[in-house]
Structure formats: structure tokens, C-alpha cells
Structure 1
């Protein structure tokens, strides 16, 4: 089916108590694995791209991969731009075929962040795509963006309400104690803050920094309104380690397709485990039916 807009999907997820798994793609094979894993569970999925990945390939290449996989699939697939600070790149994504875009101006003061986000809101409306924006600073490393623990700023629920009321977001990214990358020690997630923000904004929350969180943490966050959960670092490690493991087990095998398939299967298994963990299994038919009702 065609790529879908993220806004109605996350509203459905929030209203029905599950979260959509969002994975940062690496190549065509990982896109294929995401979609096939979602198909196996009859679930929606979000394929995300970082700015760095777009720079390495191109807008056109990435769109062609995701469209090819989605159009041959019966499940809803979103192509989303993750953390981006470049408004020109954001607009190019919306023009080229992304169905959701994210502006990350969280490093700036509230008013400046809001002003930049409003510019992206205009782009989202122009191209009829979903939009995510961020308030507060999430610690850790996300591609080339680094936020030290001492520089992280938890999101204030009152500021969150002002921000979301002005933007009509598909997803709201905020700092609630999670971190990008692997955790050093036990993460301290502020569940009361998640609940307060969701009550104040009534906007599906995007939980960033999903790698390394416990099943209990995911369940509590999703129950409080986290409708999108991002997984990136975990995928990167499986992507590389799966090849290492195959080569150790098969040191004399130089058939590339067998190596690639081993990597594909390992990544696909990872995708399926998170999709099911977040409650996405068998949610695709209900979401598609909800689209018909609102058409």
C-alpha cells in the first residue's frame, strides 16, 4: 500500500494503548526487514532516516527503497525524517516523498525553537505530511548530535502545552530521562512527567532513546501516552555484529548473499521483537479501518 501519514497512525496508537516501533534504517536490506517483520505481525511500522543517512545515499534512493517495500505490503508504513536541524533538507524530504518530518530545534530557547518549528509546520501543511518537533534536550549521542548529561533539560509540562497547542503535532519529542545510545547505569525515566505532559498536550509522545530500556519501562511509558518508540543504536549493533558472528561460524564462506541474508534475518528478528513488545501486533487492520471511517 502507499506510504501513510504518521499523524493518524500515532493518534490510533495513542487511543488504543500501543506504540508504533520506529527504526533508523541503514540500507535497503534493513528497510525490507522492517516491513517484512511488520507484515509477519500484521502491524504498522515507521522507517526513519537520519540526516547523515540521507547525505550518504540520497533522498531519491531512500524513497525508492521504502516505497518499493511498502507498495508491495498490506501493512501501513511511514517514512519519517528523524532529528533534523536543516530546514532545506526537511523541505526536500517532504517534496521527495517522506510522509513525516522532524525539526529538532531543542537546543534553542523556547521562542526560537517554536518559531523554527512553525516554519516546518508550514512545510508539513504544504505537502500534507506528519510532523514531529522536540522541546527539552535528550542526553546522549544521536548520529553526530551530542548532548552531555549536564546539558540535558527535562521538558516542563506547561511549556509542552504551549508548544503543542501552537503546532498541532503528529508526535511530540520531549526529555523525560531517556538517552540516545547505550545507557551507562540504570536509566531514570520520569513516568509522572510523561503522564503530565500527555495530559497537558493530548499529543502522541515520541519516546527517544529506546535502546536499553526494560520491558517494564516500555510498558509504563506506552500506558502513559508514548505512541512512538525510537530504536537506533540497537539496530546498528545487530547490523554489524551479525556479520561478525556469521564470519566466525563460517570462516571459509565467501558467498556475499549468504552473509547478507544472515544480517537480514538478525535485523528482521530484532524488528519483530520490538514491534510485538510495543503492542503493535494485529493493529494494522484496526488502523486501516479507522482511515476508511474518517475518509
Structure 2
């Protein structure tokens, strides 16, 4: 089926108490694996792209991968641009076929962030795509963005309400104690803040920094309104480690397709685990019946 807009999908997730898994694809193989995992579980999925990945492969190649695997798929697939600060890249993605775009101007003061996000709102409306924006500083490392713990700023619920009321977002990214990358020690997630923000904004929350969180943390966040959960670092490690493990186990096997398939299977298993953990299993039919 054609790629879908993220807004109604996340609204369905929020209304029905589950979250859609969002994975930052690396190449065609990981793209194919995440959609295959979603198909096996009859679940929706979000294929995300970082700006670094787009710069490496190009808009044309990435959109062709995702469209190719989605067009014959019976489940809803979103192509989403993750953390982007470049308006030109945001518009290029929307024009090329992405069905959701994210502006991350969270390092700016509130009014400047809102003004930049309104400009992206215009782009989203122009191309009929979903939109995510961020308020508050999420700690950790995301591609080339580094936010130290002492520089992180948790999102104020009242500011969140003002921000979301002005933008009509598909997803709202905010700082609630999670972090990009692997955690060093136990994360202190502010579940009361998640609940309060969702009560005030009534906007599906995107929980960034999903790698390394416990099952209990995921469940509590979803119960309080998190409808999109991002997984990136975990994929990077499985992608590389599965390659290394295969070659270590079979050092004389230089058939690339067997090695690539081992990598594909490891990634697919990881995708399936998160999709099921977030409650996405068998959610595709109900969403599609409403969207029809």
C-alpha cells in the first residue's frame, strides 16, 4: 500500500493504548527487515531517516527503498525524517515522498523554536505530510548532535501546551528524562511529566531515547500517552555485531549473501521484539478499517 501520513496513525495509537515503533533505517536491508517484521505481526511501523543517512545515500535512493517494500505490504508504513534542523532538507524530503517531517529547533529559546516550527508547519501543509517538533533538550548523542546532561532541559507542561496548540502536530517530542544513545546507569524518567504533558497537549508524544529502557518503563510511558517510540542506537549495534558474529563463527565463508542474510535476520528479530513490546501486534487491521 502507499506510504501513510503519520498523524492519523499516531492518533489511533494514542487513543487505543499502544505505540508505533520507529526505527532509524541504515540501508535497504534494514528497511526491508523492519517492514517484514511489521507484516509478520500485522502491525504499523515507522521507517525513520537521520539527516546523516540521507546525506550518505540521497533522497532518491531512500524513498525508492521504502516505497518498494511498502507498496506490496498490507500494513501501514510511514517514512519519517528524524531530528532535522535544515529547512531546505526538510522541504526536499517532503517533496521527494517522505510522509512525515521533524524540525528540531529545541536548542533555541521558546519563541524562536515556535517560529521555526511554524515555518515547517507551512511546508508540511504544502505537501500534505505529518509533522513532529521538539520542545526541551533531550540529553545524549543523536548523530552529530550532542547534549550534555547538565545542558538538558525537561519540558515544561504549560509551555508544551502553548507549543502544541500553535502547531497542530502529528507527534510532539519532549524531554522527560530519556536520553539518546546507551544509558550509563538507570534513567530517571518523569512519568508524571509525561502524563501531564499529554493531558494538556492532547498530542501523541514521541518518546526519544528508547534504546536501553526497561519493559516497565515502556509500558508506563505508553499508558500515559506515548504513541511513538524511537529506536536507533540498538539497531546500529545489532547491525554491526551480527555481521561480526557471523564472520567470527564462519571465518572461511566469504559468500556475501549468507552474511547479509544473517544480518537481515538479526535485525528483523530485533524489530519484531520492539513492535510486539510496544503493543503494535495486530493493530494494522483496525487502523486500516478506520482509514478506509
- Give the TM-score normalised by structure 1: 0.99
Q: Secondary structure at the match of 1:182?
A: coil
Q: Does 1:213 align with 2:219?
A: no
Query: Which residue in 2 is equivalent to 1:96?
Result: 96
- Using the alignment, how far apart are the partners of 1:114 and 1:213 within structure 2? 30
- Using the alignment, how far apart are the partners of 2:219 and 2:70 within structure 1? 28
> How big is the shift at 1:156?
0.2
Question: Which digits, 9 at most, give the CA deviation of each residue in 1:178-199, with x for residues without a partner?
Answer: 0000000000000000000000
Q: Secondary structure at the match of 1:106?
A: coil
Question: Which digits, 9 at most, give the CA deviation of each residue in 1:234-274, with x for residues without a partner?
Answer: 00000000011001110100000000000000000000000
Q: Secondary structure at the match of 1:133?
A: strand
- Using the alignment, how far apart are the partners of 1:134 and 1:290 within structure 2? 28
Question: Which digits, 9 at most, give the CA deviation of each residue in 1:9-32, with x for residues without a partner?
Answer: 000000000000000000000000
Query: Which residue in 1 is equivalent to 2:70?
Result: 70
Q: Secondary structure at the match of 2:222?
A: helix
Query: Which residue in 1 is equivalent to 2:84?
Result: 84
Q: Secondary structure at the match of 2:173?
A: strand
- Using the alignment, how far apart are the partners of 1:61 and 1:248 within structure 2? 31
Q: Does 1:33 align with 2:33?
A: yes
Query: Which residue in 2 is equivalent to 1:20?
Result: 20
Q: Does 1:125 align with 2:122?
A: no
Counterpart mapping for 1:1-295 below 5 A: 1-292=1-292
Q: How many residues in Structure 1 have an aligned counterpart in Structure 2?
A: 292
What is the root-mean-square deviation of aligned Cα atoms in Å?
A: 0.3
- Give the TM-score normalised by structure 2: 1.00
Question: Which digits, 9 at most, give the CA deviation of each residue in 1:84-114, with x for residues without a partner?
Answer: 0000000000000000000000000000000
Q: Secondary structure at the match of 1:270?
A: helix
- Using the alignment, how far apart are the partners of 1:4 and 1:15 within structure 2? 18
- Using the alignment, how far apart are the partners of 1:89 and 1:247 within structure 2? 37
- Using the alignment, how far apart are the partners of 2:89 and 2:118 within structure 1? 16
Q: Secondary structure at the match of 2:258?
A: helix
Gap regions ≥5 residues in structure 1: none
- Using the alignment, how far apart are the partners of 1:288 and 1:271 within structure 2? 21
- Using the alignment, how far apart are the partners of 1:184 and 1:145 within structure 2? 18
Q: Secondary structure at the match of 1:108?
A: coil
> How big is the shift at 1:290?
1.1
> How big is the shift at 1:72?
1.2
Question: Which digits, 9 at most, give the CA deviation of each residue in 1:42-82, with x for residues without a partner?
Answer: 00000000000000010010000000000010000000000
